[in-house]
Structure 1
Amino acid sequence: MPDSHALSELLAASRAPDHTPEDIAALPLPESFRAVTVHKEDTEMFRGMTSADKDPRKSLCVDEVPVPEVGPGEALIAVMASSVNYNTVWSSLFEPMPTFGFLERYRPHLAVAARHDLPYHILGSDLAGVVLRTGPGVNVWAPGDEIVAHCLTVELENPDGHDDTLLDPAQRIWGFETNFGGLAEIALVKANQLMPKAAHLTWEEAAAPGLVNSTAYRQLVSRNGAGMKQHNVLIWGASGGLGSYATQLALAGGANPVCVVSNQRKAEVCRAMGAGAIIDRSAEDYRFWSDEQTQNPREWKRFGARIRESTGGEDVDIVFEHPGRETFGASVYVARRGGTIVTCASTSGYRHEFDNRYLWMHLKRIVGTHFANYREAWEANRLVTKGKIYSTLSCTYPLAFFALAVHDVHRNVHQGKVGVLCLAPMEGLGVRDEEMRAQHLDAINRFR
């Protein structure tokens, strides 16, 4: 069993309101901890099955694993809570490829990277927790600091990454392309992944925004994405884990989000956020593909007309794309002349098809974005700490039932973000600013 006594001491010390860095640093580390993993020996278990038929509950495990060594520039974190992102779904389904290839390719890059190449992969690209230890060269963060972590890990030994760290050839997504992720009681991160935890949020609420909020910020707001101003912005999946933050960022920036959802319950959530233009694609029965091989341009046109009804006759300046294959042809069509389709994922398939005439002749552009650099993640987190952007946590599972949480996201039966309690023994812990929380409580609970 994991070293429960040492973990209990760490948890008790971190919850003490007057704990000091020396208090945390003086506590012994446990020898092992519980973590959500997939196993290298299981990578063929779903061979021949479609994505829809694969069940992450069959591949995901909770294992007892040893505590990793802390290297230069790194920090060991006591994880109070984490959340589920779509990259955890991909990892659990071993698609588009098993993640163990990422760990094997990381090994030759640095001597310390050999720790990541293991027969198990600890998943998770979000966390909220407490710094336990820092390695040589870490000066800004200390044991006892309450933090969240963004998921970009970089080496910055190549000049390409010094203008935008996402251009570093060695950039990786922690907990997906590296080991020791956040769906665990203890995680290993680089110190330049750390950001302050919002004092008015609980552990589980604070763990929810990281990946999706940062991704949406770069996609919409940053100069590396669409550079959003007071635009009309079409947002696919506007109440989902990623889209719910895009909707908030659009509203906070004075833009007009046109929210695409899949049912009336999700439409009501978007209205509660303040969005006025909402399209329920299921109720209006949009079918962008006639069959597996053939798209239906008449449906693109019908969808474009519906968008103009909701905007007072205007096409959208920006399309916030992440479903991929299912929607991409429509997205290219409905963007205005000179508009931007900004894409960060392909949850419905990676092979996109669109009619290039509507791109080149109408001077549109497609922009690819991938998570966020440290500055963008920091700015996105700052909006959370200031109460400008809210956590969209809808439900939380204990670590023992994490596989059901991943299954919910895979089946798209959730809204907002799905949280996982790690070391936190219950929901509702970790709030340091009750006064600020009281001012924003309705918004914090909007997705519950």
Structure 2
Amino acid sequence: MTQLGEIQQAILNDDLGAVASLDVPETYRGVTVHKDEAGMFEGLESRDKDPRKSLHVDEVPTPELGPGEALVAVMASAINYNTVWTSIFEPVSTFKFLERYGRLSPLAKRHDLPYHVVGSDLSGVVLRTGAGVHNWKPGDEVVAHCLNVELEGPDGHNDTMLDSEQRIWGFETNFGGLAEIALVKANQLMPKPDHLTWEEAASPGLVNSTAYRQLVSRNGADMKQGDVVLIWGASGGLGSYATQYALNGGAIPVCVVSSPEKAEICRKLGAELIIDRNAEGYRFWKDEHNQDPKEWQRFGKKIRELTGGEDPDIVFEHPGRETFGASVYAARKGGTIVTCASTSGYMHQYDNRYLWMNLKRIIGSHFANYRESWEANRLIAKGLIHPTLSKTYALEDTGQAALDVHRNAHQGKVGVLTLAPEEGLGVRNHELREKHIDGINAFRNV
């Protein structure tokens, strides 16, 4: 049996105490992009770029373990939109991030390689810890949040997202979670929710924490009870958590979706106010250069019909260019538009009169700090927020999983099994699981 096989078997047999005595393998399998292929999609439209062509499963060397770090045996991971960006080399090749990081220090130089092991989510078991790590030990079952920080400068000590050397692990760093082994900093680790399977536990990480900061945290929209919250893509990987946080926090979500099937998912989560934008036929852009304010007005009228005449206190933005003009228009006077992404394009246009004359605010929100991620994971562990996993792929099929996300052919989150040989493993608290099984499975088989 291989060294990885022994580690896998110890985990599957719940012999976690044996993990510390097992040798760490010199190599492991990881999903990679290659530096010499960074130009492979030149001349193609984004929609025509195929992650199945750029994502490889390679045998790669296990990285050196540094101070304050941990090696994790990864049981499962998940697809995020940043993996799609990495796979199609947009908006820039991630090798530029690795080169910049590699110049930071001799230890960071490890990350600057001709291949990039991707992935910003994981659930697994700690294999080894580096010097100075005392909160975690080999055998601990963990999930990882994806903020990589150095914290040697002053800026990050109020909010680590402001650190001058803040990076997203597995996107702006190497040795990510779509692999059998991952390298993380110890301050990325959090306890695995014990009522979830490996693949369920791996799926919330990035999007759950992002939604928490964006909507709940005082660093984001600081949502309160009774707020009307307009949520774009409310059944998707990010929006499905925003919908849950709105409902859990006593707010009133207005869920924007693109199909009856996605509307039904929002209803299963408990939402009542739903707009199917395709059924309503909204076209916010007349052409490539001009938006249609009449469509903004029609959209705003629809929201008020649903809410009894109220405009959104908060607009949960992430599509970007396609929707941003409508978002700025739709927010109530004094309302907040909080944005964390631009999946339909980065160059936003909006009518500034609706912003300044109505005292609205635009807040930029990017991922989450460790405290916010810990709080978001705690809510998962208590069964107050649920994973939104809809489908799971094998490691060898990560390219197809990324293509699903790229083409929006998925619901919720798409998982990837790494060392876990099948779905359904890793549950410790069966009583809590049974209590919340309908919520856990809300996105399954949709």
Q: TM-score range by the shorter chain?
A: over 0.9
Question: Quick check: 1:114 aligned with 2:109?
Answer: yes
1:10-44 Cα distance to aligned partner (Å, 9 max, x none): 01112233532xx2111011111110000000011
* TM-score in terms of structure 2 length: 0.99
5, 9, 21: which one aligns with 1:8: 5
What residue number does 1:430 align with?
A: 426
1:109-163 Cα distance to aligned partner (Å, 9 max, x none): 1211000000000000000000000000000000000000000010000101000
212, 215, 231: which one aligns with 2:210: 215
* 8 A contact 2:16–2:140 mirrored in 1: no
Aligned residues: 443
Q: How does 1:61-210 map to 2 (within 5 A)?
A: 61-210=56-205
Report the Cα distance in structure 2 between the residues aligned to 1:169 and 1:282, rounded to whole angstroms: 42
Report the Cα distance in structure 1 between the residues aligned to 2:169 and 2:105, rounded to whole angstroms: 16
Residues 1:300 and 1:400: Cα distance change in structure 2 (over 3 Å): same
31, 39, 45: which one aligns with 1:36: 31
Report the Cα distance in structure 2 between the residues aligned to 1:442 and 1:223, rounded to whole angstroms: 31
Report the Cα distance in structure 2 between the residues aligned to 1:51 and 1:15, rounded to whole angstroms: 41
Which letter maps to 1:193? Q
Report the Cα distance in structure 2 between the residues aligned to 1:324 and 1:308, rounded to whole angstroms: 22
What residue number does 1:408 align with?
A: 404
Give the aligned CA root-mean-square deviation in angstroms.
0.7
238, 260, 267: which one aligns with 2:263: 267
Report the Cα distance in structure 1 between the residues aligned to 2:259 and 2:102, rounded to whole angstroms: 45
SS of 1:442's equivalent? helix
SS of 2:131's equivalent? coil
Report the Cα distance in structure 2 between the residues aligned to 1:372 and 1:19, rounded to whole angstroms: 30
239, 242, 249: which one aligns with 2:245: 249
Q: How does 1:257-406 map to 2 (within 5 A)?
A: 257-406=253-402
- How far off is 1:217 after superposition? 0.3
Report the Cα distance in structure 2 between the residues aligned to 1:37 and 1:180, rounded to whole angstroms: 9
SS of 2:255's equivalent? strand
1:146-189 Cα distance to aligned partner (Å, 9 max, x none): 00000001000010100000111100000000000000000000
Q: Structure 2: 5+ residue runs without aligned partners?
A: none
1:231-263 Cα distance to aligned partner (Å, 9 max, x none): 000000000000000000000000000000000
Report the Cα distance in structure 1 between the residues aligned to 2:51 and 2:16, rounded to whole angstroms: 39
Report the Cα distance in structure 2 between the residues aligned to 1:205 and 1:87, rounded to whole angstroms: 19
SS of 1:137's equivalent? coil
1:63-118 Cα distance to aligned partner (Å, 9 max, x none): 00011111000000000000000000000000000000000000111211000000
Report the Cα distance in structure 2 between the residues aligned to 1:250 and 1:112, rounded to whole angstroms: 42
- How far off is 1:203 after superposition? 0.2
Which letter maps to 1:165? T
Which letter maps to 2:182? A
Q: How does 1:433-444 map to 2 (within 5 A)?
A: 433-444=429-440
- How far off is 1:393 after superposition? 0.1
- How far off is 1:8 after superposition? 1.0
1:249-301 Cα distance to aligned partner (Å, 9 max, x none): 00000000000000000000000100000000000000000001110000000
Which letter maps to 1:357? R
Which letter maps to 1:96? P
Which letter maps to 2:366? H
Report the Cα distance in structure 2 between the residues aligned to 1:31 and 1:192, rounded to whole angstroms: 24
* 8 A contact 2:328–2:354 mirrored in 1: yes
7, 12, 20: which one aligns with 1:25: 20
Which letter maps to 1:246? A
SS of 1:336's equivalent? coil
Moved more, 198-207 or 46-55: 46-55
SS of 1:330's equivalent? helix
Report the Cα distance in structure 2 between the residues aligned to 1:372 and 1:204, rounded to whole angstroms: 22
Which letter maps to 2:11? S
Identity value in percent: 72
Q: Which aligned runs of 4 or more in structure 1 are off by greater than 3 angstroms?
A: none
Report the Cα distance in structure 1 between the residues aligned to 2:232 and 2:295, rounded to whole angstroms: 16
Which letter maps to 1:416? G
